[in-house]
Amino acid sequence: GLYAFKDSFYLDGRRFKIFSGSFHYFRTHPLLWGDRLLRMKAAGLNTVMTYVPWNFHEPRKGQFTLGGLYDLVSFMEQVQKVGLYLIVRPGPYICAEWEFGGFPSWLLRDPKMNLRTSSYTPYLNEVKQYLSQLFAVLTKFTYKHGGPIIAFQVENEFGSKGVHDPEYLQFLVTQYSSWNLNELLFTSDGKKYLSNGTLPDVLATINLNDHAKEDLEELKEFQPERPLMVTEFWAGWFDHWGEEHHHYGTTELERELEAILSLNASVNFYMFIGGTNFGFWNGANYLSYNKDKEASLLGPTVTSYDYDAAVSEWGHVKPKYNVIRNLLKKYSLTPLDLPDVPPTPMKKAYGVVVMQEYMSLDDLITLVPSHQQFETPHMMEHLSGEGQGYGFLLYRSHFVKTSMLIISGQLLDRAHVIINGQLKGIFSYWDELITSFNIPFAEGFLTANDSTVDILVENMGRVNYESLADQLPLLNNQRKGLDGAVRYPRGQQILQWTHVPLEFDDILCENLHSSSRWRPAQTTGLPSGPFVLRGTLHVDSLDPKDTFLKIEQWGRGIVLINGFNLGRYWNVGPQKSLYVPSPILKHGQNEVIIFE
């Protein structure tokens, strides 16, 4: 297998250099994996690197799956078939701008949950169970068993957490040895976090996007007599909603890659293949932290995870792809018989989708089979069963005539407040830190002594990165929903709340498809608050092509096509359209549903 000796890697006893690209199978439709892998092979890479997100494979506790869209086995088989090696980063924490950094939300049902630490046994027990299920599969695909896996990452940027806990890292290493996973183990960190991020017997690697020569020299000083490797060469970056789109130029790429190669270092391009945060899988970052309020402004990541990668979200080869390919050729680091780059996947414009029908929020919630009753508002994670992981949660109660309602606490992350079917306000932790929200009523607005209050709260994405070293809070408190109470002006609480989870899972999508509650949509007369629209996308060819859905005229919401959740849209930008991969389309009529 692969091992490190002095300043080089060796594979089967021969000197070996890793030229890898990050490709997240969970961000690309499985029927398109083969196309993207061929592009990696044609670029001159010899290895694929991927995370494994725990929450993607076990969104409900005890329901671990590797089938369908989650078919990691098929992905590994395709990697090997193309003739590439594989490096796996299985978590339990992955960051990756992915929801909660890959942790499943049901961990937060434990009010004392403490993540990424050796000090909390219930957490360690859950990690051990997860890795046991995963390793039982991965062991069959290791290089020593004839598979493509040549290395594993023990933990992800643990040094930046800002704690010294080698016992936790050793716990993770022990999980590998208990399954006889004897491939190379490594960690990866930024240069200033190396000391807390690894163990003496584990290879330390570095993450960077500039000053490559200086950073690699620091890695060499930290870990002499070991090969140099850049595990994440950030040849692009991700976007938050409301920001400018990020771009990493070919000039910078060429300069830094030259520096990496000149130092005889191995490298992984993060990302090499762009992808998509389908559904509700986008993560978020803290933009600032207010210690007095114990609250943070939130920066949710957009649906596109194109990352300005060498290969775009939709499979288009960008100029930086050829920069990488040509530099590897220049240093004689590619095979002489390098395959041709595959043709760009075809795209097609399918015209305007007219939204012909609509459904009110009241109609929508009748399609949700599980309505839960509690005296006070509960967070998503604390609903009955295994709690709610993602999407929206509607809180509904009734109140008597008053001049005002006061929401005290935190609305995590964005809330529509609706009184008797009329939208009264939108409140968000995205743009300001508020812990008390007033809902005043004009004279005559409340005509009856029994009114209905609806608070529709959206989980905009749990934070995926923590760093005490950077004065950012830890991930232990990423619960979502209404964390507080609703009161009258004199302080009396409104009690008896109905909770309706809107995760847009398979059951709700099927109920939407077959519902008789759809009504003709008109340009006037739509509800003031959230509502659902339905239209038809006509595909005239037997072989559908990739396309894009422009959503600039809408506000904020999600799009479903044939029951597949494309992800979120928001008119604050920078993303202006949603990528529609061809495998979710069919010849003829395709159902398009928008929850606006």
Residue located via tokens 């993303």: 575
Phi then psi for 410, rounded to 5 degrees? Answer: -115, 140
* Residue 562 token pair: 């044939």
- Catalytic, 294? Answer no
Closest CA to 67 of 137, 132, 116, 167: 137
Q: Which residues pair with 501 in a beta bridge?
A: 393
* Residue 321 token pair: 């792809």
Beta strand residue intervals within 436-496, DSSP E? 436-440, 451-458, 481-487
What is the amino acid identity at position 207? Answer: N
Distance CA 232, CA 208 (A): 6
- Catalytic, 225? Answer no
Distance CA 484, CA 499 (A): 14
Closest CA to 202 of 218, 222, 232, 178: 222
Instruction: Return the half-sphere exposure (C-beta side, CA atoms, 13 A cut-off) of residue 209.
Output: 11
- Is residue 100 within 8 A of residue 478, CB to CB? The reply is yes
For residue 289, the tally of other CB atoms under 10 A from its CB is 15
- Is residue 519 within 8 A of residue 359, CB to CB? The reply is yes
* Residue 374 token pair: 């509690």
* Residue 458 token pair: 């959206």
Of the candidates 232, 256, 381, 458, the residue annotated as catalytic is 232
Distances (CA, A) of 71 to 28, 65, 184, 315: 12, 8, 24, 20
Running DSSP on this structure, what letter comes out for residue 473?
A: -
Q: Could you tell me which residues come within 8 angstroms of residue 170 by beta carbon, excluding any fewer than 6 positions away?
A: 199
Distances (CA, A) of 434 to 8, 160, 412, 416, 491: 54, 29, 11, 15, 18
* Residue 199 token pair: 């163990």
Of the candidates 157, 183, 313, 503, the residue annotated as catalytic is 157
Q: Active-site residues: which are they? A: 157, 232
